[in-house]
Amino acid sequence: MTTFLPFNRPHLTGRELEYVRQAAERAHLSGDGAFTRLCHAWLEDRIGCHRALLTHSGTAALEMCAILADLRAGDEVVMPSFTFVSTANAFVLRGATPVFVDIDPDTLTIDESAAAEAVGPRTRAIVVVHYAGVPCRMRELRGLARGKGVLLIEDAAQALGSTYDGLPVGSFGELAATSFHETKNIISGEGGALLVNDQAFAERAEIVREKGTDRSRFLKGQVDKYTWVDIGSSFLPSEIMAAFLWAQMEDADRITTERLRIWDAYNARCASLEQRGLLRRPVVPSGCGHNAHMFYVLLRDEQLRARVIAGLAAEGINAVFHYVPLHSSPAGARFGRAAGPMTVTDAASSRLVRLPLWFGMTDAHVDRVVSALEHLLA
């Protein structure tokens, strides 16, 4: 019987349950306990951000970004169409209009030229998405945002541990969001974090995260009582989640190294298929350090993609496609608009296949996937 090879398999370091037990014994299960503080310090050290704040999801971190950007109805936010719905939803909830732009044909990240053309008088922010853990061209994008006087926000949900010009992804925008969903490299089931690089946002970020109260200032002894001072919501995760996450953070380097080994094995095995014109591998530009979040291939067309995914499934291999572009979705048409043609986005979304990649995959697993893929493409 063929062993099923899943697309994703959550990895446990072995200390998660022990840390959860410790959190329970300390009788502090709500947010911002000892394990949360450890996670905050780890992120601030790794990213170099002014402030890191755990949230209950990457989506929540993006929603905090939108609140901190002080968006109003009629404001516009430039972003790629090739992204998860949370990237747009966070800003639509504040009344802003997503302005969708095309992606770069090599990296599948936002096309900075298209972004520059989309910026107009109502633009308040540019949101970049580091797709598959490969950084966007942050030097050009940061220059664009500063030149236009708009915020730069990084959706780094897939990119914790990636670098651009030697600097951590998540450190370039005024604000950034990352995710610890079980499909990510470092996980806590659900979970995320807001990364604040501009100190001007730090105090308000704590207020927004604490339901719009100044409770953080009260806990620091800065006020004698706390009260409602701003809009906000309950964005804190529980200490149980933070305890689980801390075990993952302790092993982050080992997890990244192992995923890079698997990614490199895929890349080497698929090289000959690319040379024969059967597929295209991911492109990682010079100066970009990726975290091996994902290994995908681009096939000839959508019909072939469907046959390949079905064929791999018949072999017990779970390969999947990815985003339906937001500009072509019902809500995208209702709440946003496309700025210019989406040629690359439409082509990539119909041809992309994500292959299984998880901690613990062996070279034999990779060989099995690529051999089956080669057979289907022959």
**Residue 157: its pLDDT value, please?**
98
CATH code for the domain in which residue 90 is found:
3.40.640.10
Q: In this structure, are 224 and 278 located in the same domain?
A: no
**Residue 215: its pLDDT value, please?**
87
Please report whether residue 194 resides in a domain.
yes
Please report whether residue 137 resides in a domain.
yes
CATH code for the domain in which residue 355 is found:
3.90.1150.10
Q: In this structure, are 171 and 310 located in the same domain?
A: no
Q: In this structure, are 89 and 176 located in the same domain?
A: yes
Please report whether residue 11 resides in a domain.
no
Q: In this structure, are 32 and 151 located in the same domain?
A: yes
* pTM for the full predicted model: 0.96
**Boundary-marking domain end, from 198, 232, 250:** 250
Q: In this structure, are 269 and 240 located in the same domain?
A: no
Domain assignment of residue 354, given as a range: 252-377
Where helices occur in the chain by DSSP H, the ranges are: 16-25, 34-47, 58-68, 85-92, 112-118, 138-148, 202-209, 215-219, 239-250, 252-275, 302-314, 330-335, 343-351, 363-377
Q: In this structure, are 244 and 266 located in the same domain?
A: no
Q: At what angle do helices 252-275 and 363-377 cross, to 10 degrees?
A: 30
Q: In this structure, are 268 and 235 located in the same domain?
A: no
**Boundary-marking domain end, from 215, 250, 285:** 250
**Residue 223: its pLDDT value, please?**
85
**Boundary-marking domain end, from 250, 285, 320:** 250
Domains in the chain: how many in total? 2
Residues of the chain with pLDDT under 50: none
Q: In this structure, are 245 and 258 located in the same domain?
A: no
**Residue 1: its pLDDT value, please?**
58
Q: In this structure, are 258 and 218 located in the same domain?
A: no
